[in-house]
């Protein structure tokens, strides 16, 4: 049985993310609205990460996804697409690469030690 509160929360978070996405992409290109655009971008970033990262009690899209994800859903691979787990893995790897290598000039989290540990 569907949890109606979770379903409504999910829809509200997706709408907020979508609305912010449309706004920040135009705001960030203009000098006078750059900071406002950056703040919306950061808000969207917080919506797709664990609420513990931003030290909030508000559920994020990320939290709601994991709370409601089933084994059956994980196995679904739409036509010419990838599974939801592959998408999560890929997104996480890209963020690891960008944050650590490009921005922080550090080693990635998924380094040789980690790869050995999980027998990758």
Distance CA 97, CA 50 (A): 18
Helix 34-47 with 4-27: angle, nearest 10 deg: 150
- Residue 76 region, left (φ>0) first, then alpha (ψ -120 to 50), else beta? beta
Number of CB atoms found within 10 A of residue 25's CB: 12
Can you read off the two tokens belonging to residue 72?
């059956």
Tens-place pLDDT, residues 34-92: 999 999 999 999 998 889 988 988 889 888 888 888 888 888 888 878 888 888 889 88
Share of the chain above pLDDT 90, in %: 32
Distance CA 43, CA 33 (A): 15
């Amino acid at each position: 049985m569907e949890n109606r509160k979770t379903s409504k929360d999910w829809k509200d978070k997706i709408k907020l993310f979508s609305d912010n996405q449309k706004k920040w992409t135009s705001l960030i290109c203009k000098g006078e609205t750059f900071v406002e655009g950056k703040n919306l971008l950061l808000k969207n970033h917080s919506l797709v990460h664990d609420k513990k990262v931003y030290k909030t009690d508000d559920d994020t899209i990320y939290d709601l996804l994991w709370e409601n994800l089933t084994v059956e859903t994980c196995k679904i691979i739409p036509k010419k697409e990838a599974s939801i787990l592959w998408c999560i893995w890929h997104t996480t790897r890209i963020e690891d690469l960008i944050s650590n290598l490009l921005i922080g000039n550090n080693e990635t989290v998924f380094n040789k030690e980690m790869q050995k540990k999980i027998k990758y």
